[in-house]
């Protein structure tokens, strides 16, 4: 686990007083979206349940030329993750319930990670699979992939923002299972995760 999550010691730029941009992470994401598979890990999700609820997203990816964005919000009151994509044809959004783990273990740091796996191998959009605390929570299909939006930009590069109190890792050309193993997820949890994942797979 040591060294897996990059600390927020890299150069950052503050936006709106609460979100920051890491130039290093933006560059990593710029490279990652070129490939079919990549994973973003967000650490510190349960910790945000302890303090004052925040309207800020856990993650914001901006495509400046297009005025399009991909956002990941934690809705503290319902224990739900909201995925939103503002794309050329409108707005797409899906809610994924994190379940009892968010409330029952909100004061613990163990397995406090949200894993978002992107599969851009298909035509027209991409599949996004969400895991929380090592357990699969669902899969949705976005109408546009991040790679498609990146390819539409001509003059600027995508930028990624996040709150200061979460840690971000971008895993390039890695499967979700490989990342979960790196996160030291227990075999028993991963087996339960696979069962829940197949039962609750969602397609938008």
Report the pLDDT averaged over residues 152-158. Answer: 89
pLDDT of the residue at 112: 83
Residue 194 makes CB contacts below 8 A (sequence gap 6+) with: 136
pLDDT tens digit string along 6-20?
A: 333 233 344 444 899
CB atoms within 10 A of CB 53: 10
Report the pLDDT averaged over residues 58-82. Answer: 92
Domain coordinates of the chain in residue numbers?
Answer: 52-199
pLDDT tens digit string along 71-87?
A: 999 988 888 999 999 99
pLDDT of the residue at 4: 38
pLDDT tens digit string along 171-190?
A: 998 888 899 999 988 766 55
| SS3 of residue 139 by DSSP | strand
> CA-to-CA distance for 139 and 162, rounded, in angstroms?
22
């Amino acid at each position: 686990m040591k060294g897996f999550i990059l600390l927020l010691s890299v150069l950052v730029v503050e936006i709106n007083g609460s979100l920051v941009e890491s130039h290093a992470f933006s560059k990593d994401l710029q490279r990652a979206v070129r490939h079919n598979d990549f994973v973003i890990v967000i650490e510190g999700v349960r910790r945000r349940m302890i303090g004052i609820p925040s309207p800020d997203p856990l993650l914001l990816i901006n495509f400046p030329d297009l005025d399009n964005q991909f956002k990941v919000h934690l809705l503290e009151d319902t224990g739900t993750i909201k995925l939103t994509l503002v794309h050329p044809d409108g707005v797409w959004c899906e809610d994924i319930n994190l379940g009892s783990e968010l409330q029952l273990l909100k004061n613990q740091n163990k397995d406090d990670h949200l894993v978002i796996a992107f599969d851009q191998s298909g035509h027209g959009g991409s599949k996004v699979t969400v895991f929380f605390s090592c357990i699969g929570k669902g899969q949705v299909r976005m109408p546009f992939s991040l790679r498609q939006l990146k390819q539409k930009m001509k003059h600027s590069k995508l930028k990624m923002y996040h709150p200061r109190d979460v840690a971000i890792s971008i895993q390039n050309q890695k499967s979700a299972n490989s990342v979960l193993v790196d996160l030291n997820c227990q075999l028993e949890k991963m087996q339960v995760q696979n069962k829940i994942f197949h039962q609750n797979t969602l397609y938008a």
